[in-house]
Amino acid sequence: MRHWLNFFFMAIWMVSCGSPVDNSVNEANYDQRKADSLGIPEGNKLSAAMKRAMQWPQLDNSWFFEYKMMPLQGDLAYEEGVVRRDPSAVLKIGDIYYVWYSKSYGPTQGFSGNIERDKVFPWDRCDIWYATSKDGWTWKEQGIAVARGEKGAYDDRSVFTTEIMKWEGKYYLCYQTVKSPYNVRVKNTIGMAWADSPDGPWTKTDKPVLEPSDTGEWDGSEDNRFKVKRKGDFDSHKVHDPCIIPYKGKFYLYYKGERMGEEITWGGREIKHGVAIADNPLGPYVKSAYNPISNSGHEICVWPYRGGIASLITTDGPEKNTLQWSPDGINFEIMAVVPGAPHAIGLNRSADNDKEPTEILRWGLTHIYNNSNYQSIMRFKTWTKQTHTAVGESAKRK
């Protein structure tokens, strides 16, 4: 897939330099069967678009999917005045489903007022709550799993956007943390808690398990996140959206990196993903020398598939709305382009990952913005689409 992206960038460069496009066919690379599959008339020259298409790999349509979102019932139904968002993966323990999520109360004031008193984001002043269900539709809220820390702690302002991992009889929650005061230059970190039961009690780490790189430099003391002397690495400002996957005898902590002085690129924010690897679930985690491992994306959504790791890339960057796969958990290639996806997906970890690429996406949880202040958790379902049928056509075929 990298080949056709290279062709794309080369075509842009040639046009910008005023160079004529060479439409001649390289006979050594010409594949008549590929040309036939693309509908190119025999003997025609190749446009720039068709040259790129000739380099596309033969992909399995089972990677493509469409989706629908549906409201939940019970305690996770929309509630005015309450934010519930960023659901974790869903675990099935016995005959009960569990999910963990961010919860806060009241409207968002933003950064214009008193940040010590106000709520600057919907995910500000959050605790991590959990709920259970027998059918995945009607949920019962069980209470707080992990609360904000005491004043002065690294997580005293907010704990949010959590993910769950079960490993050898123990449960591990990783999540984002913010220390007060919550200004636009505050650096977000990743914390962790563990328990012997999904119902807790949870023991928190006494310090973050992952922090932003110390490679950027702010310009002056003004409260402005775009004013920098040096932007630094892709994760110089924030590490977000953690998800830990047991993989090849180690633990891969995937995360979203945000950069100091970030820019808008390719029609979206300057967001990339990284991975940190440990021998033990509690760390220490060491960032990969190959970071960043994506050039696009937003929330982390990863799962094991056929000995490798699959990743859903959404929202930001030139490769947004793609499904990608890596044989080693680090080097990802595009497998499919999809027409959007649910936000902040909580995967159903009880699914058979290896049945097909998107089996784990058949159903899960997500969130929706009900309005500018409040979000609620929803259920989604997906299906593969490999054929197109016009209205009434299937009936005629019977």
Note the pLDDT tens digit of each residue in 121-155: 999 999 999 999 999 999 999 999 999 999 999 99
Identify whether 25 is part of a domain. Answer: yes
Helices first, then strands: H and E counts in the chain: 4, 26
Domain that holds residue 49: 2-54
Identify whether 22 is part of a domain. Answer: yes
How large is the greatest C-alpha to C-alpha distance in the chain, in angstroms? 74
Give the span between the Cα atoms of 29 and 80, in whole angstroms.
61
The pLDDT of residue 32 is 86
Identify whether 236 is part of a domain. Answer: yes
Q: Which of 37, 54, 71 is the last residue of a domain?
A: 54
Looking at the fold, whether 229 and 112 belong to one and the same domain comes out as yes
CB 53, CB 331: distance < 8 Å: no
At 61, the pLDDT band (50, 70, 90 cuts) reads confident
Give the span between the Cα atoms of 54 and 138, in whole angstroms.
49
Tokens representing 353?
């990952």
Looking at the fold, whether 50 and 164 belong to one and the same domain comes out as no
CB 140, CB 75: distance < 8 Å: yes
Nearest 5 degrees, angle CA 279-CA 282-CA 284?
60
Looking at the fold, whether 65 and 43 belong to one and the same domain comes out as no
Looking at the fold, whether 97 and 41 belong to one and the same domain comes out as no
Looking at the fold, whether 37 and 69 belong to one and the same domain comes out as no
At 5, the pLDDT band (50, 70, 90 cuts) reads very low
User: In the predicted model, what is the mean pLDDT of residues 230-249?
Assistant: 98
The pLDDT of residue 396 is 57
Count the residues in the chain. 398
What amino acid occupies position 95? D
CB 237, CB 259: distance < 8 Å: yes
User: In the predicted model, what is the mean pLDDT of residues 242-251?
Assistant: 98
Answer yes or no: is pLDDT of 80 > 70: yes
The pLDDT of residue 13 is 39
Give the span between the Cα atoms of 171 and 165, in whole angstroms.
6
Q: Which of 54, 77, 92 is the last residue of a domain?
A: 54
Identify whether 391 is part of a domain. Answer: no
- Sort 373 into a burial class: Cβ within 10 Å, 0-12 / 13-18 / 19+: middle
The pLDDT of residue 17 is 43
DSSP string, 199-267: T---EE-SS-SB---S--EE-SSSS-TT-EEE--STTSSEEEEEEEEEETTEEEEEEEEE-TT--EETT
Answer yes or no: is pLDDT of 203 > 50: yes
Give the span between the Cα atoms of 161 and 240, in whole angstroms.
8
Looking at the fold, whether 217 and 336 belong to one and the same domain comes out as yes
Identify whether 282 is part of a domain. Answer: yes
CB 280, CB 297: distance < 8 Å: no
The pLDDT of residue 31 is 83
Identify whether 389 is part of a domain. Answer: no
Rounded alpha-carbon distances, angstroms, from residue 188 to 49, 181, 253, 357, 382: 42, 12, 16, 32, 32
Looking at the fold, whether 369 and 293 belong to one and the same domain comes out as yes
Give the span between the Cα atoms of 341 and 115, in whole angstroms.
33
Tokens representing 206?
């006494």
Answer yes or no: is pLDDT of 75 > 80: yes
The pLDDT of residue 57 is 79
Give the span between the Cα atoms of 305 and 324, in whole angstroms.
11
Domains contained in the chain, number: 2
Give the span between the Cα atoms of 228 and 185, in whole angstroms.
11
Looking at the fold, whether 18 and 104 belong to one and the same domain comes out as no
Identify whether 96 is part of a domain. Answer: yes
The pLDDT of residue 8 is 40
Q: Which of 38, 54, 70 is the last residue of a domain?
A: 54
The overall average pLDDT reported for the chain is 91
pLDDT tens per residue across span 284-312: 999 999 999 999 999 999 999 999 999 99
Looking at the fold, whether 146 and 215 belong to one and the same domain comes out as yes
Answer yes or no: is pLDDT of 393 > 80: no
Tokens representing 61?
């349509």
Distance of CA 240 to the CA centre of its chain: 10
At 3, the pLDDT band (50, 70, 90 cuts) reads very low
Give the span between the Cα atoms of 198 and 33, in whole angstroms.
55
Looking at the fold, whether 80 and 23 belong to one and the same domain comes out as no
> 248-252 contacts: CB < 8 A, separation 24 or more?
248/329, 250/277, 250/278, 250/279, 251/167, 251/277, 251/278, 251/279, 251/280, 251/281, 251/285, 252/276, 252/277, 252/309, 252/329
At 395, the pLDDT band (50, 70, 90 cuts) reads low
CATH code for the domain of 119: 2.115.10.20
Looking at the fold, whether 44 and 110 belong to one and the same domain comes out as no
Close Cβ partners of 354 (under 8 Å, ≥ 6 residues apart): 304, 305, 306
> 102-109 contacts: CB < 8 A, separation 24 or more?
102/126, 102/127, 102/128, 102/129, 102/159, 102/160, 102/161, 102/162, 103/127, 103/128, 103/129, 104/158, 105/81, 106/81, 106/373, 107/373, 107/374, 108/372, 108/373
Nearest 5 degrees, angle CA 263-CA 188-CA 298?
50
The pLDDT of residue 331 is 98
Answer yes or no: is pLDDT of 26 > 80: no
Identify whether 228 is part of a domain. Answer: yes
Looking at the fold, whether 140 and 213 belong to one and the same domain comes out as yes
